[in-house]
Chain A
């Protein structure tokens, strides 16, 4: 990923959520070939109750841009083992063109507005002596403005 480098090993905080290593990593999801239902994280079983479930969902990559549906500004540090989430930080719900809304850390907690265009960014979450741990963030698109 451009702009993200370290002498340490860079690894995803959880495997299977986004492509890594990759020059332009995207979120990994699944889509049912029968009914088209999209799931993130990916699943081996369709989640649409009206689908026959006669086929296994296929892996897809999600759109990199979405709309900010809502957000929380979290104001206290989490306790161990999650204390690497340092307050304040924002968590957003991002509405993707695929029709699902996913939760994501946002790259900033100020100047946010529901309806903003947001773009995926894989970035550093924290590091220890050996590794840099990565997660997926969304950041406001430059001069994004409100969705019409």
Chain B
């Protein structure tokens, strides 16, 4: 198998969602900037893999057609000699899926230089999924209509269940989640690309309105717009283009797992009956696959960027990625060990918590941050430890997951 590497990456600043803007034009600018920083022209690349983009809630076709074809639109704008262009969806894990496909194409030896793009401009307000007008599937989307379940409903239930299973009070997990938000806000304040730069205290977070008990408003990330571009190549090519190639040690994707007992976002029900697996098995699987692919264990991870649609997600990602007693996660967070001077820095970008969520593009913002961190270019946010291996985890509706492990290769 051919070794692959990240050569360069760019992102836009994340901004408020729901204002029209020329998505393909913005992505085309990012694409050119990413290629030029590696000294390449559009003619030099072999393929473009892009995510699709936002879902206008009031659009009868559910996904508008232009939003489904960003790869081709960008190819037309930057000019190519008819290269492979593909569009990928996987809800909030879309960009991780696009990256995994591009990585597989290079590892298979079929392509040498692939550009991965992602963009999103989500509708305003709390994100929720509901049934399409033409594609009816009572399993998906209907929980909102029938039982009033929104996305934070699921996160609130997970958080409450974790408190119950670990014998903690609701106040305890609320305080833990508020601690996470307060910590991440300090890094968001230092990131010029983040949408939110305000520093919050634990008290500020707990004073914000309760939206889905136990989640307060400031524990939930806002929908946003933004985009990113990442150039990946085979390792030999990468070494010719940069003196700091970052090896793609693993890229995996995941989907609904039969037997997962935790209520899955946008679904009515769990599946698998009496053969139920331990909770969040489907969160762990792409991570375990990635560890195997990279030939490492959890202990080798120096830094993480985790998809924190809510503060609970940070807790759950640490639980699942580390595979230890959940009490260890609580201790890690409360002792400040997830900060930049800690033993496992997490979301030094400020996270989705500070960026807001540009759903389809989110993983590219995380790749960008890991690239900066591994190359020692994160400035005031730079982790204060030697970094070799970074991991990002993505998670989204419908049971979509992705894990990427990046390693210093110089």
Using a CB–CB cutoff of 8 Å, the interface residues on chain A facing chain B are 13-14, 16-17, 36-41, 43, 47-49, 69-76, 78-79, 82, 85, 89, 91, 93, 98-105, 114-115, 135-136
Contact = CB atoms under 8 A, between A and B. Distances in A.
B210 interface: yes
A91 B215 CA distance: 14
B268 interface: yes
B271 interface: yes
B164 to A, nearest CB: 5
A100 to B, nearest CB: 5
B153 A72 contact: yes
Nearest to A81: B145
B109 to A, nearest CB: 31
A30 to B, nearest CB: 11
A47 B145 contact: no
Contacts of A40: 268-269
Contacts of B138: 14, 16-17, 41
Contacts of A136: 146-147
A99 B261 CA distance: 9
Given A13-B146, A17-B146, A103-B149, 9 more contacts: A14-B145, A37-B271, A39-B271, A74-B211, A74-B212, A78-B148, A93-B263, A100-B270, A136-B147
B271 A103 contact: no
Given A69-B161, A101-B270, A78 B150 contact: yes
Kindly name the residue among A47, A70, A100 whose own CB sees the greatest number of chain B CB atoms within 10 A: A70
A133 B268 CA distance: 19
Contacts of B211: 74-76
A40 to B, nearest CB: 5
A55 B240 CA distance: 57
Nearest to B161: A70
Contacts of A14: 138, 142, 145-146
A117 B144 CA distance: 24
A43 B164 CA distance: 32
A72 B160 contact: yes
B56 to A, nearest CB: 15
Contacts of B270: 100-102
16 contacts: A41-B138, A41-B142, A70-B161, A72-B160, A72-B213, A73-B212, A78-B144, A82-B130, A91-B148, A100-B271, A100-B272, A101-B269, A103-B143, A103-B147, A103-B268, A135-B147
B148 A85 contact: yes
User: What 10 pairs across the A-B complex have the smallest Cβ distances?
Assistant: A99-B273, A85-B148, A72-B156, A73-B213, A70-B161, A70-B157, A41-B138, A72-B153, A99-B274, A101-B270
Contacts of B148: 74, 78, 82, 85, 89, 91, 105
Contacts of A37: 271-273
A135 B152 CA distance: 21
Contacts of A78: 144, 148, 150
Interface in B110-153: 125, 130, 138-139, 142-150, 152-153
Contacts of A79: 125
A48 B212 contact: no
A144 to B, nearest CB: 16
A36 B274 CA distance: 10
Contacts of A103: 143, 147, 149, 153, 263, 268-269
Kindly name the residue among A47, A72, A76, A82 whose own CB sees the greatest number of chain B CB atoms within 10 A: A72
A36 B273 contact: yes
Contacts of B401: none
A99 B144 CA distance: 23
B276 interface: yes
B250 to A, nearest CB: 23
A48 B258 contact: yes
B158 interface: yes
A71 B272 contact: no
Given A89-B148, A103-B147, A74 B153 contact: yes
A70 B263 CA distance: 10
A71 B215 CA distance: 12
B209 interface: yes
A70 B164 contact: yes
Contacts of B144: 78, 82
Contacts of A93: 157, 161, 263
A135 to B, nearest CB: 5
B146 A135 contact: yes
Contact of B258 (A38, A41, A47, A91): A47
